[in-house]
Amino acid sequence: MSILLSAEDTQLVLVDYQDKLMPAIHQGDQVLANALRLAKIAKLLNLPVFGTEQYPEKLGSNHAELKTYCQKTLSKMHFGACDDGLIEILRAPPKPMGNARSLPKHIQRKQEGQEERNTILIAGCEAHVCLLQTALGLLEEEFDVWVVTDACSSRTELNRDAAFDRLAGNGAELVTTEMVVFELLRTCEHPDFKAALELIK
């Protein structure tokens, strides 16, 4: 696992920010706001973004604006999205948007047998159920998993915090939205630095 996040190796997964679920989530408005910040920085830096929805016929769709940032939203019945096809989606992500000539050479030309984006930024609800089981499934599949804690929650703080303890104990990195933004940028000379800064002010 890399010590710092790299935009060229990272994908974002947003788990179950569903309209019927979010009102019951502890600090739900703040959690959703951070999820939107993550989605916007991902779009700015051309990271693939995927969403999941748990039994949407019952719990509704993901937040409408958040859903627009996702290349694909996976409908699932299992609590862990890996059991409903997330792994296959992450191993064959859509090509990053933007001018291919502006991308680093190792992104322009895929090397055979090499996974280009093995780092998964993940956030979502509920932290102790769907987020936890999805993240543990990704770890089992040997992805590097970074959980964005301030964009995650549960109905209770106790359940949320228990999820973070278990995830850290199983090898996930625990980070915050601002940590993610500045690690992906690396330098104030990054061409998207000012636009990214606006997202977290």
Per-residue pLDDT tens for 119-159?
Answer: 999 999 999 999 999 999 999 999 999 999 999 999 999 99
**Percent of the chain, pLDDT > 90?**
80
- Inside any domain, residue 49: yes
- Mean pLDDT score of the chain, rounded to an integer? 90
Cβ–Cβ < 8 Å for 195, 172: no
pLDDT band at 106 (very low <50, low <70, confident <90, very high): very low
- Inside any domain, residue 2: no
Residue 44 sits in a domain whose CATH number is 3.40.50.850
Cβ–Cβ < 8 Å for 148, 32: no
Dihedral of the alpha carbons of 159, 165, 167, 173, in degrees to the nearest 10: 130
- Inside any domain, residue 44: yes
- Inside any domain, residue 1: no
Give the burial class of 42: count Cβ atoms within 10 A of its Cβ; 0-12 exposed, 13-18 middle, 19 or more buried: buried
Cβ–Cβ < 8 Å for 147, 30: no
- Inside any domain, residue 172: yes
- Inside any domain, residue 122: yes
- Inside any domain, residue 173: yes
Q: How many domains does the chain have?
A: 1
User: φ, ψ for residue 90 (rounded to 5)?
Assistant: -70, -30
The residue to which tokens 């788990």 are assigned? 15
pLDDT band at 200 (very low <50, low <70, confident <90, very high): confident
pLDDT band at 8 (very low <50, low <70, confident <90, very high): very high
Domain of residue 139: give its range.
7-200
- Inside any domain, residue 87: yes
| pLDDT of 39 strictly over 70 | yes
